[in-house]
A and B are shown apart, each in its own frame.
Chain A
Amino acid sequence: MKLKSFMGLLASERLKLGRSPIWLLVPVSPVIGLVIGLLTSLDGTSAAEQYAVLQSAVLTLHAMLLLPILTGIFASFVCRFEHGGGGWKSMLSLPVTRRGLYLAKFVTVAVLLGITQLLTMAALVLATYYHDIAGGIDWAIAWPSLLSGWVACLPLAALQLWASIGWSSFAAPLAINVAFTLPNILIVNSADYGPFYPWAQPALAMLSVSGGGMDFGAFTLPIENVLITIGGSFVVFLLGGLVHMQRKEI
């Protein structure tokens, strides 16, 4: 499939998202992060540690629960249009490859997650200004954290997309996703299981580089490990989804 046709597919996906409620969901987690950031008290914290503490306050709920859940919602959402009323059939009767369509959906989810991360960054900036932290935002730890959080979501996105396509349902993959996300709270503290649990990867990736008071359990693992888990699961989930898509009877 040529690049031009792929761009056409992406443009089509964008149009479908255009007037949909997904845009109300994208800012939810950043806004919650901002509120937590504003409410955090930095009174007893030394000036040197203030920024790190604030960043982990803004990011913890987001990375631990909301971002993995949103990943599932986004993946279900981009398939929702096709699940309703034979949409897969009419999409795949067009001159598109199944692989192209799958990848276009994946890229769309990745872009939505990217926008979420950028808004989260904006929340972090605002909270930093609000607390008037000396030296302002520490970009050197903020960017790697948000970027690696985004990367850590990609295997989840691939897995959720696979589930969404396989199940032909909007709600079922979402429920499963939430059920697997909730144990994060316990699993990130486990050095044994944390590194291998896909839903915990965003938290591990985002909170380990911040270093702000989170150096326990799986967070102390070297980032290379996390990246190998992420990279490995990404390849497995993406290929699984692609193969499923290729074989799906429409």
Chain B
Amino acid sequence: MKEWIIETSGLSKRYKGRYAVSNLNLKIGRGEIFGFLGPNGAGKTTTIRMLLGLIQPSGGNIQIFGQPLRRNRLQILRRVGSLVEYPSYYGHLSATDNLEAIRRIIDAPKNRISEVLDIVGLSKEAKRPVKGFSLGMKQRLGIASALLGSPELLVLDEPTNGLDPAGILEIRELIKAMPREHGITVLISSHLLSEVEQMANTVGIIRQGEMVFQDSMASLREQAHGSMALRVSDSMKAMRVLAQSGIPSQHEGALLTIGQTDDEYVARAVRELVASGHAVYRVEERRKSLEELFLRIVGEGRGL
């Protein structure tokens, strides 16, 4: 049986009669990178705040590392590193001192500070007051703080906010390496599927407080498979020809679309059409991109 690092059941948060998060059943296994996706105001941050015990849920349960959060908050948080919304920092202190202020609380080894600064590429700026940092540098410092306690679970709320493309790539590589090298489980939220697509192995899509999709990345990819569009001389008749040879299709105007894209299948369809006297002008692959699929899910909220 899979070991769940985060497991929520019926998790809800109500603000003045409106549900910001409702009936969320989150399941994240050990060593997974879980991409938590949703548009603005979907309830990602609210969920994460509940997972860290910053706000009380209006209903439901949270188990982290198999322990109830309500009762074992301190023991759990000792094993969690987090970055919520935007990084907080003490502007008058250097990056090193900012980390030292946290280190004194979590009692991490002293040399861990230079280690994490190195990981996020801030070693050279370590001595500068943080108020002079760029947004991306502050974001890196936030990630460094999250890593400081060598956590087993990393909770990152939009960690690539404000990073340049090179920075995004760097952080992505860093996060990808976490489960492999340190056995860390990662929950990372984002607006963009494309951002987590290349690192997440599981995705949860939340929309208006409700989870509308939760499955493996591979299964999401499968849902996004493409179709073939054929432009033929008489699409109505052509559709009947294909149906007779057991190839279902739809027609829109002069176009005929078939749902499968493997070579053999397409070749057979073309052969049948040509053999029955149809002219085939064009055969094109239509790829529904993952992003389109994602937008459809969050846009219409139709569960898949």
Residue numbers of A with Cβ under 8 A of B are 1, 4-5, 8-9, 11-12, 15-16, 18-20, 81-82, 84-87, 89-90, 92-97, 249-250
Does B19 make an interface contact (CB < 8 A)?
A: no
Closest-by-CB residue of B relative to A250 is B54
Bound form: Cα–Cα A87–B54 in Å? 12
Majority SS of interface residues in chain A?
Answer: helix
Docked-complex contact B107 and A8, CB < 8 angstroms: yes
B73 to chain A, nearest CB (A): 8
- The A/B interface has a contact count, at CB < 8 Å, of 83
Bound form: Cα–Cα A96–B106 in Å? 9
26 chain-A/chain-B pairs, Cβ below 8 angstroms: A4-B107, A8-B104, A9-B104, A11-B104, A12-B104, A12-B105, A15-B97, A15-B100, A16-B90, A16-B101, A18-B93, A18-B97, A19-B92, A20-B92, A86-B85, A87-B88, A87-B90, A89-B54, A89-B88, A93-B82, A93-B84, A95-B106, A96-B74, A96-B105, A250-B54, A250-B55
Closest-by-CB residue of A relative to B107 is A8
Task: List residues of B (68-127) whose CB comes within 8 Å of A's CBs.
Answer: 74-75, 77-78, 80, 82-93, 97, 100-102, 104-107
Chain B hits for A93, CB < 8 A: 52, 54, 77, 80, 82, 84
What total of chain B residues lie within 8 Å of the partner, measured CB to CB?
33
Chain B hits for A8, CB < 8 A: 104-107
- Residue in B52, B86, B100 whose beta carbon sits within 8 Å of that of A86 in the complex: B86
Docked-complex contact B101 and A249, CB < 8 angstroms: no
Docked-complex contact B104 and A250, CB < 8 angstroms: no
- Residue in A1, A12, A95 whose beta carbon sits within 8 Å of that of B101 in the complex: A12
Chain B hits for A19, CB < 8 A: 92-93
Residue numbers of B with Cβ under 8 A of A are 49, 52-56, 74-75, 77-78, 80, 82-93, 97, 100-102, 104-107, 142, 145
- Residue in A81, A89, A94, A250 whose beta carbon sits within 8 Å of that of B105 in the complex: A94
Contacts A19-B92, A84-B88, A250-B49; A12 near B102 (Cβ below 8 A): yes
A-B CB proximity, top 7 nearest? A250-B54, A95-B77, A95-B78, A12-B104, A87-B88, A86-B88, A11-B104
Bound form: Cα–Cα A20–B106 in Å? 23
Chain A hits for B55, CB < 8 A: 249-250
Bound form: Cα–Cα A82–B89 in Å? 9
Bound form: Cα–Cα A86–B87 in Å? 7
A31 to chain B, nearest CB (A): 24
Docked-complex contact A89 and B106, CB < 8 angstroms: no
B83 to chain A, nearest CB (A): 8
Docked-complex contact B49 and A15, CB < 8 angstroms: no
A16 to chain B, nearest CB (A): 6
